[in-house]
């Protein structure tokens, strides 16, 4: 049911954290993986290659997802190298937290550019390939913060809420071509992004399951949405948050 053999997945922000785990889980289930991230000399994506079986195709591509033209170049290169694209996971994301009244314009722009425009760029450029797939999938990694808002994260919340709007609009546009588009809204997942946060006990108290999530918790949700089992699901947002954003 979760066999992705013969399919090609593009994962952005795949050098570490949740993106790296998504790339590994999709690969473990038979997909060929194009791993997109910033400059490979800063974060050598190629270092993860030994984690992949020798018989499984895997390739790293250097790209800043905010760059519209470079994203097109990379999208076309991936489709050429792998002979098509079936799955796109828009995962690259950053946070630049501050209270709204102290937030710099550059921090607002940077977060919107990576988290929202980056997803637009890759969706826009890969759609022509996804629509040729019999099982085209776009999976956007949003956040519960996009559903709930959060003091000190207006830029991040706006970008992640925007990503949900992008997901639902693209789901309606792409449905006629058989491409599903869904979002995942993780809660507190232990990665570099959350490593520096203070008062983690306070966060724990707010999570009904009383524990933080792991990258693999998000990756298995991606695997499900990428698989044939999810072929009748589109425009949906799946929370992976230990109950954090549950409505009463």
Angle between helices 154-174 and 118-130 (to 10 degrees): 20
Do residues 89 and 10 touch, judged by C-beta distance below 8 A? yes
Among 32, 91, 167, 234, binds ligand NDP (CB under 6 A): 91
CB nearer ligand NDP, residue 42 or residue 175 = 42
CB of 160 to ligand NDP, least distance (A): 7
DSSP summary character for residue 6: T
- HEC profile of 52-65: CCCCCCEEEEECCC
CB nearer ligand NDP, residue 178 or residue 236 = 236
DSSP 108-149: HHHHHIIIIIHHHHHHHHHHHHHTTSTT-EEEEE--HHHHH-
CA 209 from chain centre, in angstroms, equals: 23
Cross-strand bridge partners of residue 107: none
Count of all residues that appear for the chain in the document: 248
CB nearer ligand NDP, residue 93 or residue 136 = 93
Among 155, 191, 227, 234, binds ligand NDP (CB under 6 A): 191
Among 194, 204, 214, 235, binds ligand NDP (CB under 6 A): 194
Among 65, 223, 238, 245, binds ligand NDP (CB under 6 A): 65
Binding of ligand NDP at residue 15 (CB under 6 A)?
A: yes
Q: Which of 58, 61, 129, 156 is catalytic?
A: 156
Binding of ligand NDP at residue 204 (CB under 6 A)?
A: no
CB of 17 to ligand NDP, least distance (A): 2
Binding of ligand NDP at residue 43 (CB under 6 A)?
A: yes
Binding of ligand NDP at residue 42 (CB under 6 A)?
A: yes
CB of 13 to ligand NDP, least distance (A): 3
Binding of ligand NDP at residue 16 (CB under 6 A)?
A: yes
Strands (E), 148-246: 180-186, 237-240
Strands (E), 13-106: 32-37, 58-62, 87-90
Q: Which residue, among 146, 2, 125, 4, has the nearest Cα to 69 in the 3D structure?
A: 125
Among 79, 154, 183, 189, binds ligand NDP (CB under 6 A): 189
Binding of ligand NDP at residue 92 (CB under 6 A)?
A: yes
Among 2, 40, 64, 168, binds ligand NDP (CB under 6 A): 64
Phi-psi domain of 242 (left: phi exceeds 0; alpha: psi -120 through 50; beta: other)? left
Binding of ligand NDP at residue 93 (CB under 6 A)?
A: yes
Contacts of 201 (CB under 8 A, 6+ apart): none
58 catalytic per annotation: no
Do residues 86 and 11 touch, judged by C-beta distance below 8 A? no
Which residues contribute to the site for ligand NDP (CB under 6 A)?
A: 12-13, 15-19, 37-38, 42-43, 64-66, 91-94, 114-115, 118, 141, 143, 186, 188-189, 191-194
Tell me the catalytic residues: 156
């Amino acid at each position: 049911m979760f066999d992705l053999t013969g399919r090609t997945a593009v994962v952005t922000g795949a050098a570490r954290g949740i993106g790296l785990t998504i790339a590994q889980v999709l690969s473990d289930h038979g997909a060929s993986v194009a791993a997109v991230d910033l400059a490979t000399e800063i974060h050598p994506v190629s270092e993860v290659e030994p984690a992949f079986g020798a018989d499984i195709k895997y390739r790293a591509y250097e790209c800043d997802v905010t760059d519209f033209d470079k994203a097109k170049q990379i999208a076309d290169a991936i489709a050429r190298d792998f002979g098509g694209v079936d799955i796109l996971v828009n995962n690259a994301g950053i946070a630049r937290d501050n209270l709204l009244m102290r937030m710099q314009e550059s921090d607002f722009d940077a977060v919107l550019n990576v988290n929202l425009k980056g997803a637009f760029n890759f969706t826009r450029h890969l759609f022509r390939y996804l629509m040729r797939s019999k099982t085209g999938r776009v999976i956007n990694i949003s956040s519960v913060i996009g559903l709930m808002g959060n003091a000190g994260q207006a830029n991040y919340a706006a970008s992640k809420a925007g990503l949900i709007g992008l997901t639902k609009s693209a789901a309606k546009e792409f449905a006629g071509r058989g491409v599903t588009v869904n979002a995942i809204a993780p809660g507190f997942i232990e990665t570099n992004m959350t490593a520096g946060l203070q008062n983690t006990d306070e966060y724990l108290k707010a999570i009904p399951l009383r524990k933080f999530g792991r990258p693999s918790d998000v990756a298995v949700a991606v695997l499900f949405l990428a698989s044939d089992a999810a072929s009748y699901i589109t425009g949906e947002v799946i929370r992976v948050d230990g109950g954090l954003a549950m409505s009463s």
